[in-house]
């Protein structure tokens, strides 16, 4: 197990170093950092002095090492566009994205799981077929199109829900939350729904596939034979055994949701990290782009590593080295 | 089709009962499965219709949306023809510059389909060759290629595509940006998607290279590339075809998303995503048709591709037969 852990963490660290190399290359070689930071009146000496102070005259390896050391400490430099510390900027925007992703994840489970159970249990019924077709449609709808259609329906035509912004927020320490005010909650509905559409269909399809297998097992047949009510068999006995893959999928998809939130945030002008990133892309604000890339990749890699390690912990067969070498003693 | 049957007859002459490819296809399990799946037929017809109308766009569209001289401002903001104030020939209405929406959609679908198709081809070419090389030779070559793949898979797909597209555009001089917009997008979408093909082919190549027929081929000094292309590659075409079909849908989606975010096709050669981006600005001014119709077309394309992909996956899955 220890060997597996070391190997898995070394792998994650390698991937993060590679991502850092990419971020550093973008930072260093697209546009001149000095030109981006000085004002128009700066003299040649000022520029040379700044260049020396930023360490841009050092060798590639030295600079890369410094970039990684700073990144580990959360220091990504100063934004070119509004001259603020990048980590402060991202920290301000993080709660908005986190709440959006959290609510979207909850929605996907609350809606996706029951739909999956229903389509599996009433397999040949018309409703199940319609839901199954609906799930293909759900996978095919681009998330920004879902967002735009939701705005057209619920904001423009019906006027029920706000189409942009976050509503009123309340500060708890450094965390600003929109969940505690009614306008904040109303503003969250449409973005969360549009972000979760894809995820709902994913959960639904997974639960359906798992349920179809579970319903064939002996213990379900036995429970039926014993006279347990059908509802209890389906929703308690069978469903409980389908949840493990759903939890895995949800965990691994959070990284994707954070990345895809940037599309939703653009549609709804939601003031999160993704919108910050897209604005940074438009203005070629490279420190912000590099920091966002590193942060999202880190969350992605961390979640994958946690899932892998948990699986290896639960199921010794997956610790591949021991399985190959020693067989049963792993 | 004619060329292929001609070739088979040439290589194996004097066999009157030889089946042409067309006959073989009509008698295959796949064709039978296709005919018994109404959703697959529906999707294929829809996709064929969209592709045909996109190819014929210069012939059938009422207006050339690239020709700025053809745009008349007094024809701007005309609603669809079934609404009050609708005008012939603007079936789906016009935008704020007098551009016919239907023509823009036909030309836009063209760009979306070409970019989607080309990026799948590029990803296939890169993924298959790298996967074959990695699986056949093994060793450090394998290590380098697959590590690179790991790194790419450890970042979200859409993020890599946005970064490549944004960086390439930022690095280019202004004059070249618009000319190279489509190639940049194709590249940006292909880079994160080749890994899947490479992994599939590599796994299969690692198994096949140990088999006797490959050893025998090596002994009679068949060149490595010939073994890879003629002996190993055909063994893994089934999962590759399914993945390529589903990735075609994903590529069209990604292109639309990038263009919608403003890091894709420029407004003077709009893809469906760009059209939706433009229309999105008029969401609150009642001009819903500018955004809704391109969005519907995009959804129809992706939906039909995904339905075909789903059917193909089930039809080619030996477990489900």
Cβ atoms within 10 Å of A45's Cβ, excluding its own: 8
Average pLDDT, consecutive stretches of 10 residues, N- to C-terminus, chain B (321 residues): 46 56 74 80 88 80 70 68 68 72 86 92 93 86 87 85 84 77 89 90 84 84 82 81 88 91 83 86 79 88 88 75 52
Q: Between A194 and B37, where is the model more confident?
A: A194
Is the dihedral angle over the CA atoms A220, A225, A226, A229 positive or is it negative? Answer: positive
In this predicted structure, what is the pLDDT of residue B3?
A: 46
Residue B111: inside a domain: yes
Q: Are B251 and B120 in contact (CB under 8 A)?
A: yes
CB contact, 8 Å: A263 with chain B?
Answer: yes
Do residues A193 and A106 touch, judged by C-beta distance below 8 A? no
> In this complex, which of B156, B249, B292 lies closest to A259 when CB atoms are compared?
B156
Q: What domain range is B65 assigned to?
A: 36-320
Query: Token digits for A140?
Result: 């095919």
Nearest to A140 among B154, B276, B299 (CB): B299
**pTM for this predicted structure:** 0.83
* CA-based torsion, B296, B297, B298, B304: positive or negative: positive
pLDDT at B117: 93
State how far the Cα of A79 lies from the Cα of A86, in Å rounded to an integer: 5
pLDDT reading at A287 higher than 60:
yes
SS3 for chain A, per residue?
A: CHHHHHHHHHHHHHHHHHHHHHHHHHHHHCCCHHHHHCCCCCCHHHHHHHHHHCCCCCCHHHHHHHHHHHHHCCCCCECCCCCCEHHHHHHHHHHHHHHHHHHHHHHHHHHHHHHHHHHHHCCCCHHHHHHHHHHHHHHHCCHHHHHHHHHHHHHHHCCCCCCCCCCCCEEECCEEECCCCHHHHHHHHHHHHHHHHHHHHHHHHHHHHHHHHHCCCHHHHHHHHCCCCHHHHHHHHHHHCCHHHHHHHHHHHHHHHHHHHHHHHHHHCCCCHHHHHHHHHHCCCHHHHHHHHHHHHHHHHHHHHHHHHHHHHHCHHHCHHHHHHHHHHC
**Residue B27 falls inside a structural domain:** no
Contacts of B256 in chain A (CB under 8 A): 142, 144
**Which pLDDT belongs to residue B85?**
67
Picking from B145, B141, B131, the residue whose alpha carbon sits closest to that of residue B208 is: B131
Burial grade of B216 (CB within 10 A; 0-12, 13-18, 19 or more): exposed
Sign for the pseudo-dihedral over CA of A38, A43, A45, A46: negative
Q: Does A135 touch chain B (CB under 8 A)?
A: no
Nearest to B303, CA basis, from A132, A140, A144: A140
Q: Residue A262: which of A303, A296, A299, A301 has the closest Cα?
A: A296
Task: Answer whether B155 touches A (CB < 8 Å).
Answer: yes
Look at residues A205, A277, A278 and name the one whose alpha carbon lies nearest to residue A242.
A205
Judge whether residue A326 has pLDDT over 60. no
pLDDT at B99: 77
**Other beta carbons within 10 Å of A169:** 20
Asked if B158 lies within 8 A of A259 by C-beta distance, the reply is: yes
Chain B contact probe: residue of A134, A142, A147, A284 with most B CBs at under 10 A:
A142
- Cα separations in angstroms, B148 against A326, B131, B203: 30, 12, 16
Torsion sign (Cα): A281, A286, A287, A291: positive
State the smallest CA–CA distance between residue A140 and chain B in angstroms. 5
Chain-chain contact of B260 with A151 (C-beta, under 8 angstroms): no
Q: Which of B147, B148, B155 is the mutation pick for testing A, counting most A CBs within 10 A?
A: B155
Contact B303 A15 (CB under 8 A): no
Q: What is the pLDDT of residues A150-180, one digit of tens each?
A: 888 888 878 788 777 777 777 777 777 777 7
List CB contacts (< 8 A) between B262 and chain A. Answer: 278, 281-282
B78 in Cβ contact with B87 (< 8 Å): yes
Q: How far apart are CA B242 and CA B231, in angstroms?
A: 20
| CATH 1.10.3720.10 placement within chain A | 86-320
Q: What is the CATH number of domain A86-320?
A: 1.10.3720.10
* Nearest residue to A148 via CA among B153, B280, B163: B280
The tally of domains found in chain B comes to: 1
**Residue B186, preceding bond cis, omega within 30 degrees?**
no
What is the per-residue pLDDT across A222-269, written as a single tens digit (0 to 9) for each?
888 888 888 888 888 788 888 888 888 888 888 888 888 999 998 888
Interface of A with B in 96-125 (CB under 8 A): none
The single-letter DSSP state of residue B91 is: T
Residue B205 near residue B132, CB atoms below 8 Å: yes
Q: Is the pLDDT of residue A319 over 80?
A: no
DSSP code of residue B14: S
pLDDT score, position B75: 67
CATH number at B56 reads 1.10.3720.10
Domain assignment present for B57: yes
Residue B18 in contact with partner chain A when CB distance is under 8 A: no
- Tell whether B291 is covered by a domain: yes
Q: Indicate the SS3 state at residue B94.
A: strand
* Alpha-carbon span A211 to A117, nearest angstrom: 7
**B307: in domain:** yes
Distance of CA B125 to the CA centre of its chain: 13
Q: How many residues does chain A have?
A: 330
Helices A143-150 and A182-214 pack at an angle, to 10 degrees, of 130
Q: Which residues of B touch A143 (CB under 8 A)?
A: 257
Q: Given the structure tokens 């001009």, which residue do they identify?
A: B287
ipTM: 0.81
Query: How close B156 comes to chain A (CA, Å)?
Result: 6
Give the per-residue pLDDT at A322.
47
Predicted pLDDT at B44: 87
A145–B166: do the CB atoms touch at under 8 Å? no
Q: How many angstroms separate the CA of residue A283 from the nearest CA in chain B?
A: 10
A149, B102, B276, B285, B295 from A157: Cα distances, Å = 11, 24, 19, 11, 18
pLDDT bin (cut points 50, 70, 90) of residue A320 is: low
pLDDT at B77: 67
**Contact B8/B20 with Cβ under 8 angstroms?**
yes
B104 lies in some domain: yes
Of A19, A140, A156, the CB nearest to B302: A140
Selecting from B158, B167, B295 the residue whose C-beta is nearest the C-beta of A30 gives B167
* Over residues A191-198, mean pLDDT: 90
Query: Nearest-CA neighbor of B170 among A283, A216, A228?
Result: A283
């Amino acid at each position: 197990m220890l060997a597996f852990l070391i190997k898995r963490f070394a792998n994650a660290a390698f991937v993060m170093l590679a991502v850092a190399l990419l971020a550093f290359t973008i930072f260093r070689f697209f546009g001149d950092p000095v030109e981006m930071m000085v004002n128009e009146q700066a003299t040649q000496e000022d520029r040379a002095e700044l260049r020396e102070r930023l360490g841009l005259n050092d060798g590639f390896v030295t600079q890369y090492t410094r970039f990684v050391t700073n990144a580990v400490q959360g220091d990504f430099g100063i934004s070119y566009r509004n001259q603020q510390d990048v980590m402060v900027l991202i920290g301000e925007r993080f709660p908005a994205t986190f709440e959006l992703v959290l609510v979207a994840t909850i929605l996907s489970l609350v809606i996706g799981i029951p739909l999956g159970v229903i389509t599996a249990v009433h397999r040949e019924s018309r409703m199940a077929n319609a839901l199954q077709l609906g799930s293909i449609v759900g996978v095919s709808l681009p998330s920004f199109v879902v967002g735009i259609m939701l705005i057209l329906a619920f904001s423009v035509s019906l006027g029920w829900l706000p189409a942009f912004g976050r509503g009123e927020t309340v500060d708890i320490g450094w965390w600003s939350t929109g969940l505690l005010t009614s306008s904040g909650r109303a503003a969250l509905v449409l973005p969360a729904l549009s972000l979760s559409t894809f995820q709902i269909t994913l959960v639904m399809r997974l639960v359906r596939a798992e349920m179809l297998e579970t319903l064939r097992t002996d213990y379900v047949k036995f429970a039926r034979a014993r006279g347990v009510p059908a509802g209890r068999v389906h929703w308690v006995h069978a469903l409980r055994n389908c949840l493990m893959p759903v939890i895995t999928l949800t965990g691994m998809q959070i990284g994707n949701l954070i990345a895809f939130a940037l599309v939703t945030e653009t549609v709804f002008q939601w003031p999160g990290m993704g919108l910050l990133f897209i604005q940074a892309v438009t203005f070629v604000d490279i420190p912000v782009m590099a920091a966002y890339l590193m942060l999202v990749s880190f969350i992605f890699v961390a979640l994958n590593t946690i899932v892998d390690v948990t699986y290896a912990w639960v199921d010794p067969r997956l610790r591949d080295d021991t399985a190959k070498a020693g067989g049963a003693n792993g | 089709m004619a060329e292929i049957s001609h070739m088979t007859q040439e290589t194996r002459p004097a066999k009157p009962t030889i089946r042409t490819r067309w006959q073989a296809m009509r008698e295959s399990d796949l064709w039978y499965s296709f005919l018994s799946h109404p959703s697959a037929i529906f999707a294929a017809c829809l996709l064929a219709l969209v592709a045909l109308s996109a190819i014929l766009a210069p012939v059938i569209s009422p207006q050339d949306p690239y020709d700025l001289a053809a745009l008349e401002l007094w024809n701007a903001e005309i609603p669809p023809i079934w609404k009050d104030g609708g005008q012939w020939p603007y079936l789906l209405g016009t935008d704020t510059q007098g551009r016919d929406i239907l023509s823009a959609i036909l030309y836009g679908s063209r760009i979306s389909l070409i970019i989607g198709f080309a990026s799948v081809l590029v990803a296939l070419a890169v993924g298959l060759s790298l996967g074959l090389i990695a699986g056949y030779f093994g060793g450090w070559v394998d290590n380098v290629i697959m590590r690179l793949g790991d790194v790419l898979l450890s970042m979200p797909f859409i993020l890599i595509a946005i970064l490549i597209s944004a960086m390439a555009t930022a690095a280019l001089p202004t004059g070249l940006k618009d000319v190279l917009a489509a190639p940049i997008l194709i590249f940006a979408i292909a880079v994160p998607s080749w890994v899947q093909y490479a992994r599939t082919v590599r796994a299969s190549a690692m198994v096949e290279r140990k088999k006797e027929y490959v050893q025998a081929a090596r002994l009679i000094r068949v060149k490595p590339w010939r073994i890879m292309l003629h002996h190993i590659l055909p063994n893994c075409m089934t999962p590759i075809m399914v993945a390529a079909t589903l990735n075609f849908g994903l590529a069209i989606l990604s292109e639309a998303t990038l263009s919608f975010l403003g890091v894709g096709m420029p407004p003077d050669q709009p893809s469906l995503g760009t059209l939706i981006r433009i229309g999105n600005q008029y969401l609150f001014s009642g001009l819903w048709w500018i955004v809704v119709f391109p969005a519907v077309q995009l959804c129809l394309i992706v939906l039909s591709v995904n339905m075909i992909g789903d059917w193909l996956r089930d039809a080619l899955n030996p477990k489900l037969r």
